[in-house]
Chains A and B, each alone.
Chain A
Amino acid sequence: MKTNITLDELITSSVIDLTRSFLSFEDKNFNAQVRFLDLDKKTDFKHADLAGVDFSHSDIRGFDFTGADLRGATGVDVQWDTTTSLKGANTDDSLFAYRIERDRLLAENPALAKQVARLSKEYWPNAILGVEKLLRDKNQPHRRRIAQAVFDETPDLVVRSNVLLFLRLATESGEEHRHFIYNIFASHGDETNVVRAAIRALAALYPDHKGTLNILMAYLDHQDATIRNEAFNGVLNSVHLKSVLDNVLPRVTAQDNGLHRRTLLGRIAQMAGPAYMAAALDSDVANFLDYTEIISARKTHSMAQNALLKEKYARIARSRHGKLEEGLNVKESEINKRAAEFQRLLKNLREQYRVPLRFEWEKMKNR
């Protein structure tokens, strides 16, 4: 028998209307989004696909994530506890992974739990030296786990910072180390110095990891300028910068930090190819152009002349037969040709990547 039930009978006009308004809802906070959609934290997240979700600044206590896919879920300043159900959930490479593993280990090994409690209560130099000694003890298979647990339990900022650095040297598995750092962001979001150290470690060690970029992006709006700056440095060096370029470009443009703008233009030129790298290189400051400064024809002429000279020097050095005098002699027509090429490539960068480059010669034309 033929039935005519179609999708629009289940996905009703009210659902579509909610969908439509949600698509233009710009608040990125998980709790705000859940409230907007009127989702039930007790039932609607069971067996859900939440891979890569950002839980930053969210309270997920009481959420039931039974059987959910939480791989790569990250977040800073996340409130969660035993009321957050993770039964059967896949938490690989997520902010939850580290704490789940730690709790299991300490529950199964009461002696380790005692050692953690003792080190956490020690006077800070003793605690630091105790952790350092522990990490060197090759006979203790759980040495890193114990050090990480001390990091969590100790109230002393100096001990925490040192343990983080020691762990950087002592952790062999990148995945395990990342889990630990994710947990720092989730649990110690209000401790500026620890967060800064964690951002720096994450950005330096895992620039090719997508989860790193997600974390760094979450810190771009942080109220503390030093944390913001650290996060921008990390984002600009991320291998995955291209995927967030639309988001990052206006933020960097709005900043006072010229170094970030120069770095960003360099990364964009790198994405575009070697010719673009040469065209974007400001030879006067040995860095890339600051795209908020107006670029004059004289500037591109100077950049072209320097680039040609550099190439000639390189050729002379390679051939052994060249003469320095010849190297210094660059024809004006050659410079003009290269400068025109640079101008064309910079215009391409503006069009393709929407970099707000401004050219003096265009202004003059408009007049």
Chain B
Amino acid sequence: MPDDNNALPDLVELLLRVSQTTSKTKELEILPELRISNATLDEEQDRLCFTVSLKRAWLSLDLSGLEPVPGSRLGEPTRPNEVSVKRKTSRELVTKNQVSAGAGIRADMTSASASAKLDLGAKHTTAGTTIESTTSAESAPHIRVKARGNLMWEITDSPQLGELDGTFLNNEPLCRVKPKSGANAKTVQMSTFAKQRDVLLRLQKSNRPFPFLNVNQERLMKILIVKALSGPGTKFNGFIEFSRSEINVED
């Protein structure tokens, strides 16, 4: 029976299911649903409106008595083994005026002044220059749910880290796992979290962006709000866990 806990389902909702692939291999598919949007708090007293959203989130999988099946993770950013590289070599003659300067500067901002010699010389030279440029052409699609090490997945909307808004996983296999030999209890745990620098906070007053007095005020206000979002009784350390799901797998 899955146990899904979402601290703020308007902002992040994670639902976790597992499904047996075939009875022969005893492999399980991890099937999460992940929805991310924004959450708003309206303060009627002075018409302050806080909107919280994310620009990057992380999905973390913890396995007990189970291990991932190699090559089964969703969103592997596998680097192609071959890339096309163009090399262009050209030789050109460059005529340049070389100016050599011995820097002698009086320090006008000090009580004691230091003077040194100033010598300027110029010579006209013609030099042969070989220019070599190498370009490698490679295009890679943006992977929104990208597999990372340590059984983690990074969720982003675009390379520019736009606001996350939508369903990023919809019951599709995130990876396959198989029982470890001799394991008794088998548990799948999954959590969604974000670093506080990846939280976006919009503050409005009377439907207009709030004019912060300075950058410090804006940044520290965000820390205060994000810390509150991490929940009471939680030791805040820059991360906010939004969801935690757990399934005990029975034989």
Contact = CB atoms under 8 A, between A and B. Distances in A.
Interface in A161-194: 161-162, 165-166, 169-170, 193-194
Given A48-B223, A158-B110, A10 B7 contact: yes
Contact of A50 (B101, B116, B219, B228): B219
For A34, A50, A162, the residue with the greatest tally of chain B CB atoms inside 10 Å of its CB is A162
Nearest to B197: A49
B109 A196 contact: yes
B103 A166 contact: yes
B161 to A, nearest CB: 11
A19 B215 contact: no
A127 to B, nearest CB: 10
A108 interface: no
Contact of B41 (A11, A46, A68, A125): A11
Size bracket of the B interface: 35 or more
A325 interface: no
A128 B228 contact: no
Contact of A136 (B41, B46, B50, B102): B102
Contact of A43 (B105, B199, B214, B236): B236
User: What class of interface size applies to chain A in its complex with B?
Assistant: 35 or more
A165 B8 contact: no
Contact of A10 (B196, B228, B237): B228
A25 B210 CA distance: 14
B43 interface: yes
A19 B225 contact: yes
A174 B18 CA distance: 55
A132 B102 contact: yes
Contacts of B116: 128-129, 132
B187 interface: no
B221 interface: yes
B52 interface: yes
A39 interface: yes
Contact of B105 (A15, A37, A162): A162
A104 B54 CA distance: 34
A135 B116 CA distance: 14
Interface string A249-263: 000000000000000
Interface in A118-134: 124-125, 128-129, 132
B224 A161 contact: no
Interface string A32-60: 01100101100111111111111000000
A85 to B, nearest CB: 12
Contact of A20 (B41, B48, B228): B48
B179 to A, nearest CB: 29
9 closest A-B pairs by beta carbon, nearest first, are: A46-B238, A47-B238, A47-B195, A7-B41, A49-B197, A161-B107, A52-B215, A193-B109, A15-B228
Given A7-B11, A37-B220, 15 more contacts: A3-B6, A7-B52, A11-B41, A19-B221, A23-B217, A45-B238, A50-B219, A51-B219, A67-B195, A128-B114, A128-B116, A158-B110, A158-B114, A169-B103, A193-B109
12 contacts: A15-B224, A20-B46, A20-B48, A34-B220, A37-B224, A43-B236, A44-B227, A46-B237, A54-B214, A67-B195, A129-B116, A158-B114
Interface of B: 6-11, 39-41, 43, 46, 48, 50, 52, 101-103, 105, 107, 109-110, 112-114, 116, 195-197, 199, 210, 212-217, 219-225, 227-229, 231, 235-239
